[in-house]
Amino acid sequence: MGHVHLVPPPPPPPRCCRCATSLSVPDCYHTCVPSLQGTMTFGEQNSEEEAWEQLDYAVGQGVNFIDTAELYPVPPSPETCGRTEEIVGRWMAARGCRDKVLLATKVMGGSKVRRRGAGVGPAQIVAAVEGSLRRLQTHYVDLLQLHWPDRYVPLWGKNQYHASQRYDPVPFEEQVAAVGKLIQEGKVRHWGLSNETAYGVCRMCEAATRLGVPPPISIQNDFSLLDRRFESQLAEACAPHHHNIGLLPYGPLAGGTLTDKYFAGGSGPGPNSRHFPGFQPRYHSAASMAAAAEYAAVAKGAGLTLAQLALAWCASRWYVASTIIGATTLQQLQENIAAFEVELDAATLAAVDAVHLRHRNPNVTD
């Protein structure tokens, strides 16, 4: 597999799955492959033993980028919050591999799950990082992400902004200053955003410039064949000649909808996901399923599984730095990693766009 080199790049041309957009990370010589190991099911849908098995396999296949969060596992609860980081921390300690992987985590926004719903202010950011470092058994993280904005924005499939819901959030400058201090202390190497808008990206970058803090290098947003809003809403702001921020798509398989288990005699939801039938409903709406059925036909015509098509398509986008893959079984993980060896031809890409024009962003719920 090709590697993503985290060094200052020239504007990249359109690329194949084996290459990748470089992120602007001065003096950083780590590399990561086009797929990034997600962990949000570890400790809930997946046992610790299963989590270790997945991590061992992923690293053995060259995946060296692990993404977690203080919120995980999901669905979140006060009882399980932080459990995923603990599992990843124990695995890294047992394998002695901390210096061989890029480790990303996230600071959650206001939530009753932790810190009694407090916003993402400087004290909360510092407390979150200290807690994550303790659970992960490390003295630094390679990438710290703000899990979702402190201010009101439409999230989780919502698209319409309602000005009446505005409230006074923590100022951008205070958040950026707190992250900058953690970088100075060596607890955070680089930082990024998540579930963010173009407005938020620009304000964060402007604040970083004013304060002399390194700018964010990544954004982790929902992105897949069923939700391509990044193309029109964020690609310009994040382009190399503007803020030079790489996309780390989550949900590239839309919660399993973009897999063959729902089509062509597939088995349907697995036993783990059946425990959470109402989780992430945007991925399983009638509109999303109808679009996925047409993408499944495109995949079949190209001699691919639907998951291969979905992941290879994500990896082919010029603004994607690395695609987050998650799985509840080792077999799923094996298929997902192998998908990054697939290169889609022009005819298949055209067929994908034709489906998109008929079913534009069906994950959107309003």
pLDDT at residue 250, as a whole number: 96
Instruction: Give 146's strand partners.
Output: 107, 193
pLDDT at residue 166, as a whole number: 78
pLDDT at residue 21, as a whole number: 33
Residue 90: pLDDT over 60? yes
pLDDT at residue 20, as a whole number: 32
User: In which region does residue 285 sit, left (phi positive, over 0), alpha (psi from -120 to 50) or beta (all else)?
Assistant: beta
Residue 204 tokens, joined: 């964060």
Whole-angstrom distance, CA of residue 246 vs CA of residue 266: 34
Whole-angstrom distance, CA of residue 246 vs CA of residue 216: 9
Average pLDDT over residues 252-263: 93
273, 328 in Cβ contact below 8 A?
yes
Average pLDDT over residues 128-135: 98
Q: Which residue has the higher pLDDT, 282 or 205?
A: 205
pLDDT at residue 14, as a whole number: 32
Residue 325: pLDDT over 60? yes
Average pLDDT over residues 36-58: 96
Q: Is 319 a known active-site residue?
A: no
Q: Model pTM?
A: 0.88
Average pLDDT over residues 40-58: 97
Q: For residue 270, what pLDDT band results from cuts at 50, 70 and 90?
A: low
* In the chain, % of residues over pLDDT 70: 84
Question: Selecting from 3.40.47.10, 3.20.20.100, 3.40.190.10, 3.20.20.70, what CATH number does the domain 4-358 have?
Answer: 3.20.20.100
From the candidates 72, 250, 262, 319, give the one annotated as an active-site residue: 72
pLDDT at residue 278, as a whole number: 62
Residue 5: pLDDT over 70? no
User: In which region does residue 69 sit, left (phi positive, over 0), alpha (psi from -120 to 50) or beta (all else)?
Assistant: beta
276, 256 in Cβ contact below 8 A?
no
How much is the mean pLDDT over the chain? 88
127, 135 in Cβ contact below 8 A?
no
Whole-angstrom distance, CA of residue 358 vs CA of residue 349: 15
Residue 161: pLDDT over 60? yes
Residue 268: pLDDT over 80? no
Average pLDDT over residues 329-351: 96
Whole-angstrom distance, CA of residue 48 vs CA of residue 85: 11
Q: Which of 32-36, 78-82, 224-228 has the lowest mean pLDDT?
A: 32-36
Q: Is 188 exposed, middle or buried (0-12, 13-18, 19+ CB in 10 A)?
A: buried
Instruction: Enumerate the domain spans of the chain.
Output: 4-358
Q: Which residue has the higher pLDDT, 278 or 3?
A: 278
pLDDT at residue 115, as a whole number: 55
Task: Compute φ and ψ for 247, nearest 5 degrees.
Answer: -85, 130
Q: Which residue has the higher pLDDT, 252 or 21?
A: 252
The dihedral sign for the CA sequence 130, 132, 134, 137: negative
Q: Which residue has the higher pLDDT, 101 or 11?
A: 101
Q: For residue 280, what pLDDT band results from cuts at 50, 70 and 90?
A: confident
3-state secondary structure the chain: CCCEECCCCCCCCCCCCCCCCCCCCCCCCCEECCEEEECCCECCCECHHHHHHHHHHHHHCCCCEEECCCCCCCCCCCCCCCHHHHHHHHHHHHHCCHHHCEEEEEECCCECCEHHHCCCCHHHHHHHHHHHHHHHCCCCEEEEEECCCCCCCCCCCCCCCCHHHCCCCCCHHHHHHHHHHHHHCCCEEEEEEECCCHHHHHHHHHHHHHHCCCCCCEEECECECCECHHHHHCHHHHCCCCCCCEECCECCCHHHCCCHHHCCCCCCCCCCHHHCCCCCHHHHCHHHHHHHHHHHHHHHHCCCCHHHHHHHHHHCCCCECCEEECCCCHHHHHHHHHHHHCCCCHHHHHHHHHHHHHCCCCCCCC
C-alpha distances in angstroms, 89 versus 65, 139, 193? 14, 11, 23
What is the widest separation between alpha-carbon atoms in the chain? 56
Q: Which of 6-10, 71-75, 209-213, 322-326 has the lowest mean pLDDT?
A: 6-10
Q: For residue 104, what pLDDT band results from cuts at 50, 70 and 90?
A: very high
145, 218 in Cβ contact below 8 A?
yes
